[in-house]
């Protein structure tokens, strides 16, 4: 934060207590076209990023998994297949529209057990201490007002030895790639948003929010400061996306 009581909403400075409502408006707007836009924006590569996340999660049969900002349920669906009926998968999202889209999508796929749903704020997770073997948050942390508070909340609900995985847009490692990515994000994404979702402003915000998100090393330090150990990150697609992983101490 640059001044007390203020935080970033994209490139704008807004009051801390206003950000959640502004972010909610973005995702209410894009929920119905979210999956289609993800495929168009990433050329389908987001599926590979999520597959890598699942591979590094260490989730096994019978585990409990919390997918925060789980949106339309891509990760939750895969985790449900892995943990089986003996396990537990909670799809959580602060945004009612996104949660409804995700729940309807998974029900349409015939996925019932072991899934449950919770409208929840990552900063104040409504779950008991030491509840989950794994917590994931994919493309959601950058929208959280107080990321440090959210990371501590995630640590609290993890079991000792449990894993946190944060999949998020990050900072490209190559200058040429970075310039091309900026040109794409600020010139193409809002136009795609207008064409497909009828909303260019929300995709302008999403592009700005990516630029305001902490880089790879900064987020790793934030996880360590929150109490995680053995923190590491894996760059994908030249650092456009990074997967951070940390463990809750025993």
pLDDT for 114 equals 94
End-to-end CA distance of the chain: 33
- Does the pLDDT value for residue 94 go beyond 50? yes
Greater pLDDT, 27 or 7: 7
- Please give the residue that has the higher pLDDT: either 29 or 192: 192
The answer on whether 108 is annotated among ligand-binding residues is: no
Q: Decide: helix, strand or coil at residue 119.
A: strand
* Cα pseudo-dihedral 229, 148, 138, 114, rounded to 10: 80
Say if residue 121 carries a ligand binding annotation.
Answer: yes
What does the mean pLDDT of the chain come to? Answer: 88
Identify the DSSP state of 173: S
From the list 236, 94, 90, the residue with the least C-alpha distance to 168 is: 236
pLDDT at 2: 43
Dist. CA 29–CA 70, nearest whole Å: 17
Q: Do residues 127 and 92 make contact, with C-beta atoms less than 8 angstroms apart?
A: no
Determine the average pLDDT of the residues in 21-35: 62
136 annotated ligand binder: no
Count of CB atoms situated within 10 Å of the CB of 62: 14
The better pLDDT of the pair 97, 29 is held by 97
pLDDT digits (tens, 9 = 90+) for 185-217: 888 877 877 877 677 777 787 778 888 899 999
| Cα distance between residue 24 and residue 93, in whole Å | 11
Q: pTM value?
A: 0.88
Q: What is the pLDDT of residues 61-81, one digit of tens each?
A: 999 999 999 988 999 999 999
* Cβ atoms of 77 and 103 closer than 8 Å: no
Q: Is 129 annotated as a binding residue?
A: no
Homologous superfamily (CATH) for 6-174+204-247: Vaccinia Virus protein VP39 (3.40.50.150)
């Amino acid at each position: 934060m640059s001044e007390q009581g203020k935080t970033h909403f994209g490139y704008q400075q807004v009051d801390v207590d206003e950000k959640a409502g502004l972010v909610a408006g973005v995702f209410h707007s894009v929920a119905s076209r979210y999956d289609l836009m993800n495929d168009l924006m990433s050329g389908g590569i987001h599926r590979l990023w999520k597959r890598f996340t699942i591979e590094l999660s260490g989730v096994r049969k019978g585990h409990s998994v919390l997918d925060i900002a789980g949106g339309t349920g891509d990760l939750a669906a895969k985790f449900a297949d892995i943990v089986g009926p003996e396990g537990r998968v909670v799809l959580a999202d602060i945004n009612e529209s996104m949660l409804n889209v995700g729940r309807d999508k998974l029900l349409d796929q015939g996925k019932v057990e072991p899934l449950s749903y919770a409208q929840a704020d990552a900063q104040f997770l409504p779950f008991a201490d030491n509840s989950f073997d794994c917590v994931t948050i994919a493309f959601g942390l950058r929208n959280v007002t107080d990321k440090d508070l959210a990371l501590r909340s995630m640590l609290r609900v993890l079991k000792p030895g449990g894993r946190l995985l944060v999949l998020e847009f990050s900072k490209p490692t190559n200058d040429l790639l970075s310039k091309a990515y900026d040109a794409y994000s600020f010139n193409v994404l809002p136009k795609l948003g207008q064409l497909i979702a009828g909303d260019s402003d929300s995709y302008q915000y999403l592009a700005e929010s990516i630029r305001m998100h902490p880089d790879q090393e900064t987020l790793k330090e934030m996880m360590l400061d929150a109490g995680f150990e053995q923190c590491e990150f894996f760059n994908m697609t030249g650092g456009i996306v990074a997967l951070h992983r940390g463990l809750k101490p025993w």
